[in-house]
Structure 1
Amino acid sequence: MVLGTTALGAAKSIENMEISHNVSHGQWDWMNDPEIHSSTWEWDQVGPSSQWKYAHNFRHHKYTNVLGMDEDVGFGVMRVTRDQEWRPIHLLQPIQNLLLAASFEWGIALHDLLPPSAEDKASRRLRPPVRDLLGKIARQMGKDYVLFPVLSGRRWRRTLKANLVANLLRNVWSYVVIFCGHFPDGAEKFTLAELEHENRAEWYLRQMLGTANFRAGAVMAFMSGNLCYQIEHHLFPDLPSNRYAEISTAVRGLCEKYDLPYTTGSLARQYLLTLRTIHKLALPNRFLRATSDDAPETASEVKFRGRSALGADPVTGRLRGLRTALAAR
């Protein structure tokens, strides 16, 4: 039973991360296969793909790590940057973090649901997005916790437990991969003011600065949907994920050429840094030493004023960029 449950958890992780996430980005639309197409694919979790595609493909990828625009910043329940106003509820976020990890598919489903408009609030009818969500929940719960156990006959309890544990394993793994892509040290957060007059080149720069990779071999890369290459994914979200390892060499080369940070590390390190941020920011800013100008999880241009590391290197004559400035803090 343990082996079968683990295999099911792995299969659900692969379906969500490597297949559904990437298919929904349109990475395989070029094949013109109606069964593997972003317009028709429905994934194996409680949230409807259509709602996720708007919240993720549009809001998150266009406004990556911008407070007030990207709902993935803390997923609406956690404070992950000092730019976010502290509220007493944040004292509980170490516990909220554990609950979110265990129920990650539910967190995604609820966070993808758009808030009701004034017209919606005035009406007593269920909004179409709510109906869609409830319908998907019923189908998903019916499949995992009613249909498959019934088909198992007298072993229905074992099947029910296996599905519960497999979904838990998938939720925790997805949570770890996603959080390590945007919340370790070095993954910058941004304010609305920084979007003003942003051109296309600056958009690409924000994608690079707002994301983080983790080192992975072929198996872990596959299990994570190749989101160990989160930087490359945000630069080219509709590029087939099996190409990210190849282009990562070129992306790192550009970062080296222009002295830009390329944030990466082991999965364990990136996750521990993420946990540190979540636990530290449960406290008000007055209990923290760093500010939003010079914190590990975010910084501003104020941090670099008067720094000698800026400008050209007096020995080589090479212009020094953001990576050198960050290292000199």
Structure 2
Amino acid sequence: MSLATAPSPRTKGSEFAPLLRQVKEAGLLERRTGWYTRGIALNLVALAALAAGVLAFDGSWWVLFLALPLAVLHARTAFVGHDAGHAQIADNRRLHRAIGLVHGNLLIGMSSGWWNDKHNRHHANPNHVEKDPDVGVGALVWTQRQAAEREGFARWLTRHQAGLFFPMLLLEGIALKITGWQYLKQLPANERRVEALLLSVHFLGYVAFLLIAMSPMLALTFALLHHALFGLHLGMSFAPNHKGMEMPHEGDGREWGHLRRQVLTSRNVRGGAVTDWMLGGLNYQIEHHLFPNMPRPNLRRAQAMVRDHCASLGLPYVETGIVESYRQALAYMHEVGEPLRATA
């Protein structure tokens, strides 16, 4: 089930109902199709201009300086795919699917089907140890119980995971693409064919363009640098949102409704227009989780309503600066690995 068709949270008689009513009356759930149309067009023009810039360098190693803006624009492209998965752009399910496929599979080479499935499960149970794939065991772990089960190199990795977090993000751009290819076998045959075709077109087009524009060695260097910076940027956009916040699990006796489940597990990042642009609106993580289909430009407008509603209930509303958000996330990862360092 895609995020666009996920069931709405039960609101009757809940803590969430008054807030939902207030947001609806303010028109904040209405689509901002014109805003997205302009943003998508500008992003495509910028990508085309950057491609022309790569060709203009005529094989010079100075072209490596364009890997950074390309990584930023690819992150912008991923943000559009993310918003399409949440049905934020228009009242048309097929259009959202098409936008997701173009921006995910075709333009950045990442499976939109994989992303929507994973992200849907995250939104349903954020930071839930057994249900949220974002806190499952992987290269990193998120609880001391997970850490205790590590062996060999993985155990060493967990001991040092806070210090290795940002360097490991340099591999995320490539990992996202590999994971997407691996996920294709789980899709229905017709969806698998479409996604595989678009992923193949992206890969072949990307390789062919670089080999036309530069030597093979420079092309390889450019691709590695571009994907490293892309993974770092994307990872830094998602990292501050939940790490170090509440982590519910089976049997802990907590039966939270939609409001508490989303607010207590999320952290906002304070900032202005530049922060909004660089983080793709994910800095309003609390509002985004409460209203996943709210158009991105409306999240800032909803913030005061959400903050005041939480205050009226005595519910913590966590918001920090960008540096402090990373400090808290890294401190939590360091704490998870503490028992392993104590026994090393």
Q: 2:278 is matched by which residue type in structure 1?
A: M
Equivalent position of 1:167 in the other structure: 227
Equivalent position of 1:299 in the other structure: none
Tell me the alpha carbon deviations over residues 255-290 of structure 1, each in whole angstroms, 9 at most, x when there is no partner: 2212211111111111122112222322327949xx
Runs of 4 or more consecutive aligned structure 1 residues displaced over 6 Å after TM superposition: 110-115, 133-136
Q: Is the 8 A contact 1:113 1:129 kept in 2?
A: no
Q: 2:284 is matched by which residue type in structure 1?
A: Y
CA distance change for structure 1 residues 75 and 10 in 2, over 3 Å: closer, same or farther?
A: farther
CA distance change for structure 1 residues 228 and 252 in 2, over 3 Å: closer, same or farther?
A: same
Instruction: Give the secondary structure class of the aligned counterpart of 2:268.
Output: coil
Q: How does 1:1-329 map to 2 (within 5 A)?
A: 1=63, 3-17=65-79, 19-30=80-91, 32=92, 36-38=95-97, 41-42=100-101, 43=104, 44-57=107-120, 59-73=121-135, 76-82=138-144, 84=146, 86=148, 87-88=150-151, 89-93=154-158, 94=160, 97-98=165-166, 100-108=168-176, 127-129=185-187, 132=192, 138-144=200-206, 146-152=207-213, 154=214, 157-184=217-244, 187-193=245-251, 198=255, 202-284=257-339, 287=342
Structure 1 length-normalised TM: 0.70
Q: CA deviation at 1:111?
A: 6.2
Q: Is the 8 A contact 2:171 2:228 kept in 1?
A: yes
CA distance in 2, matches of 1:69, 1:75: 12
CA distance in 1, matches of 2:220, 2:342: 46
Q: Is the 8 A contact 1:78 1:90 kept in 2?
A: no
Q: Is the 8 A contact 1:82 1:281 kept in 2?
A: yes
Q: Is the 8 A contact 1:255 1:261 kept in 2?
A: yes
Structure 1 gaps of 5+ residues are: 116-125, 289-329
RMSD: 3.2
Q: Is the 8 A contact 1:79 1:90 kept in 2?
A: no
CA distance in 2, matches of 1:181, 1:248: 15
Q: CA deviation at 1:172?
A: 0.4
Tell me the alpha carbon deviations over residues 78-118 of structure 1, each in whole angstroms, 9 at most, x when there is no partner: 22233545223243133563454112244445667899xxx
CA distance in 1, matches of 2:253, 2:205: 43
Q: Is the 8 A contact 1:102 1:172 kept in 2?
A: yes
CA distance change for structure 1 residues 215 and 114 in 2, over 3 Å: closer, same or farther?
A: same
CA distance change for structure 1 residues 29 and 194 in 2, over 3 Å: closer, same or farther?
A: farther
Q: CA deviation at 1:138?
A: 4.4
CA distance in 2, matches of 1:12, 1:29: 22
Q: Which deviates more, 279-288 or 61-70?
A: 279-288
Q: Is the 8 A contact 2:281 2:296 kept in 1?
A: yes
Instruction: Give the secondary structure class of the aligned counterpart of 2:304.
Output: helix
CA distance change for structure 1 residues 156 and 247 in 2, over 3 Å: closer, same or farther?
A: same
CA distance in 2, matches of 1:222, 1:55: 24
CA distance in 2, matches of 1:220, 1:73: 25
Instruction: Give the secondary structure class of the aligned counterpart of 1:228.
Output: coil
CA distance change for structure 1 residues 29 and 246 in 2, over 3 Å: closer, same or farther?
A: same
Q: Is the 8 A contact 2:144 2:337 kept in 1?
A: no
Percent same amino acid at aligned positions? 24
Structure 2 gaps of 5+ residues are: 1-62
Equivalent position of 1:322 in the other structure: none
Structure 2 length-normalised TM: 0.67
Greater helix content: 2
Q: 1:72 is matched by which residue type in structure 2?
A: D
Q: CA deviation at 1:209?
A: 0.5
Q: Is the 8 A contact 2:237 2:282 kept in 1?
A: yes
Q: Is the 8 A contact 1:204 1:235 kept in 2?
A: yes
Q: CA deviation at 1:47?
A: 3.3
Tell me the alpha carbon deviations over residues 2-61 of structure 1, each in whole angstroms, 9 at most, x when there is no partner: 5522221211111112x111112111132x496x5135522144431012111112x111
Q: Is the 8 A contact 1:12 1:167 kept in 2?
A: no
Instruction: Give the secondary structure class of the aligned counterpart of 2:299.
Output: helix
Instruction: Give the secondary structure class of the aligned counterpart of 1:27.
Output: coil
